[in-house]
Amino acid sequence: MLLPGEHFEPLSRECSVIVSEHHRFNTDTILLAQFSMPRKGEICADFGTGCGTIPLIWCARSSPKRVYAVELQEDACGMARRSVEQNGWEERITVVCGDITSLPKTKSVPHGLDQIACNPPYKPMGTGVRNPHEGKSIARHEVACSFAEIAASAAALLRWGGRFCFCLRPERLCDAMVTLRSAGLEPKRLRFVQQRAGKAPFLFLMQANRGGKPGLQTEPVLLVENSNGGFSSEMMEIYGDYGEGHK
């Protein structure tokens, strides 16, 4: 089940995911999974799923009918498939190895999805220092596809009123909203994340609906830490029993 350099990381008492040095998850992943938690019986997709953390959290905490975990890198797909098998969710999670930009032209992911989530690369091409490892570079920089291409694919695969949820750094907020509207996705929910009170946000979470009417709801800021430097009560609630070992 495990290859050299891999280990199981628990997401809850009943669910674990296989991670490695090059394919793992972080706090942003957990926050997006909770922000985009699907409703019972929905058919969803996670674009750029990596090792499959978000689909696993969805199935551990909610009851989606089917989740399509889309990932370009074959080694990450193999890890995600083995994690799905380990948790016994082959009937609920389908791992799709493919390019996000080509999904609307293929039948690997159905049209008319209720929701799509994506933790996209945070850095546009030409900015920052690229990681020499291909997997980390794809995850951090828009090497394989741009946010505009991700939004276009999401709009093509969502049903009317379907939700696209993602996270990005605050400096990309304005460009992201322009891109979403150009793709036919209307921003509806926005939440900033701060490390602690008095610090500038380091992340935002957003939901955009296909064909939605204008009107953006800004939710209260999420604080990762409390005044003592530990996890805030809301972060502990979001982490669930996974957080018990990460206080």
Q: What is the mean pLDDT of the segment spanning 221-240?
A: 94
Query: Which option is the CATH number for 8-184: 3.40.50.150, 3.40.50.620, 3.10.129.10, 3.10.20.30?
Result: 3.40.50.150
Q: In the numeric block, which tokens belong to residue 183?
A: 């793709």
pLDDT-based confidence at residue 243 (cuts at 50, 70, 90): low
DSSP letter, residue 13: S
pLDDT at 118 exceeding the cut of 80: yes
Which stretches within 25-172 are classed as H helix? 27-35, 53-61, 74-87, 134-140, 147-157
pLDDT at 246 exceeding the cut of 60: no
Q: In the numeric block, which tokens belong to residue 147?
A: 């946010």
Distance of CA 57 to the CA centre of its chain: 11
pLDDT tens track for 127-185:
554 445 554 444 454 556 899 999 999 999 999 999 999 999 999 999 999 999 999 99
Q: What are phi and psi of 105, to 5 degrees?
A: -95, -10
Q: What is the mean pLDDT of the chain?
A: 91
Q: In the numeric block, which tokens belong to residue 85?
A: 């098998």
% the chain with pLDDT above 70: 89
pLDDT tens track for 210-227:
999 999 999 999 999 999
- pLDDT recorded at residue 143: 59
- The reported pTM is 0.90
- pLDDT recorded at residue 134: 54
- pLDDT recorded at residue 138: 47
pLDDT tens track for 29-81:
999 999 999 999 999 999 999 999 999 999 999 999 999 999 999 999 999 99
Q: What are phi and psi of 94, to 5 degrees?
A: -115, 120
- pLDDT recorded at residue 245: 45
Structural contact between residues 29 and 242, judged by C-beta atoms closer than 8 angstroms: no
Which stretches within the chain are classed as H helix? 27-35, 53-61, 74-87, 134-140, 147-157, 173-182, 233-239
- pLDDT recorded at residue 120: 93
Q: What is the distance between the alpha carbons of residues 73 and 77, in angstroms, rounded to a whole number? A: 6
3-state secondary structure of 225: strand
